[in-house]
Amino acid sequence: MGRVSRARRVVRRRWGADERGRTPWTRGRVTAAFAVAVAALMALHSHVPGVLGLGSLWETFLPWTGLAVPALSVVALLRRSTLALVALLLPAVVWLGLFHRAVVPWDRGPVEEGTGAAAITVVQHNAGDENRDPTGTARAVAAAGPDLVALQELLPAALPAYDAVLAPGHPHHVVVGSVGLWSKYPLVDSRPLDIRPAGFGTDWNRGLRTTARTPYGDVAVYVVHLPSVRVRPSGFDTARRDESAVLLGAELRAEESPRVILLGDLNGTLDDRGLAPVLNRVDSAGEGVTDGFAFSWPVSFPLARIDHVLARAGAVTRLWTLPATGSDHLPVAARVTFPSGADRGASG
């Protein structure tokens, strides 16, 4: 008991008033202020000024802002500040509010299996124009057993390798420019999608729209690859990506099919304000149901998910990444569920 008492006295002394008379509730005000500021920046990320692209840059790496909590916790403990530790509850709660679906198990199995809903498995992958193993990449994405496979950065020389592996299980396919779709279901009404920013030549073809005639009804499928963003001396340059997103949003707004699946490398995360024209036209709420954060880029140390599966009149009930291929992106697989009561559209 003597040792316990001495330990308690040491704790009280260390966490009591210091030589300047500051108590645990008055020490660590700067750390507490940082905690409140981080919480505000997370909760109000859409209000971070867009000057120099700072808003989009902050939103791209928004999940990583949660690392501020353990970092500031160490500072608070070193400062022996109860004030700072209590203040850190604020960013912790805000972060969990934003990203709880990525860290808390979330099972929508009954929705998918118990109601007769139509479930389609898809794979989205930027295969990489420097990929030296297209055959291995095709095998990797086919191993997930998808009904639809969307690929970007397809080179003409690599197409035979992809088709040789994917065609036996996905006999229907369409390729436009550098994007393509392989499908178990017949594809009709296929056409290029003009999402070129101003100044881009006619040889820049990164979008297609087709209709998959599934056993559950017709589904409009979009495969896209938005322009890359760049970090320049002038800031985080998203202008061309944002312009292309506006054009894609207009196409989605004009889409008459009630059922839509969008597969693409959008070069932005779902929190990025630049993708708002797209996200306003497809339901991204379900895509929060992931196996972890499912970061897809870069493959050497994934920092963000810029490869997406989005739907309208349906929900992405599960989303996960596949093992690395010869690309600098990880493939993303997903289950897309359409309620049985939805308009089935034409099927013949």
Q: Tokens for 145?
A: 């057993």
Q: What is the pLDDT along the chain (348 residues), one digit of tens a residue?
A: 556 555 555 445 567 777 676 888 889 999 999 999 999 999 999 999 988 888 999 999 999 999 999 999 999 999 999 999 999 999 999 999 999 877 765 444 434 444 557 899 999 999 999 999 999 999 999 999 999 999 999 999 999 999 999 999 999 999 999 999 999 999 999 999 999 999 999 899 999 999 999 998 999 999 999 999 988 877 899 999 999 999 999 999 999 999 999 999 999 999 999 999 999 999 765 554 566 799 999 999 999 999 999 999 999 988 999 999 999 999 999 999 998 755 554 444
On whether both 85 and 58 belong to a single domain, the answer is yes
Show which of 84, 103, 122 is a domain's final residue.
103
Is there a single domain that holds both residue 272 and residue 327?
yes
Structural domain includes residue 346: no
86 and 55 fall within a common domain: yes
Residues 195 and 328 in one domain: yes
User: Are 262 and 329 within one domain?
Assistant: yes
User: Do residues 30 and 54 share a domain?
Assistant: yes
Residue 86 inside a domain? The answer is yes
Domain assignment present for 345: no
Domain carrying residue 8: 2-103
DSSP 98-166: HHHHHHS----HHHHHSS--EEEEEEEEE--TT-S-HHHHHHHHHTT--SEEEEES--GGGHHHHHHHH
| Domain containing residue 157: CATH number | 3.60.10.10
pTM, rounded to two decimals: 0.87
Same domain, 170 and 40: no
In angstroms, what is the C-alpha Rg of the chain?
A: 24
Helix, strand, coil shares of the chain as percentages rounded to 5? Answer: 40, 25, 40
- Quick check: is 344 in a domain? no
Other Cβ atoms within 10 Å of 345 Cβ, number: 18
Number of domains the chain contains? 2
Farthest CA pair distance, the chain = 84
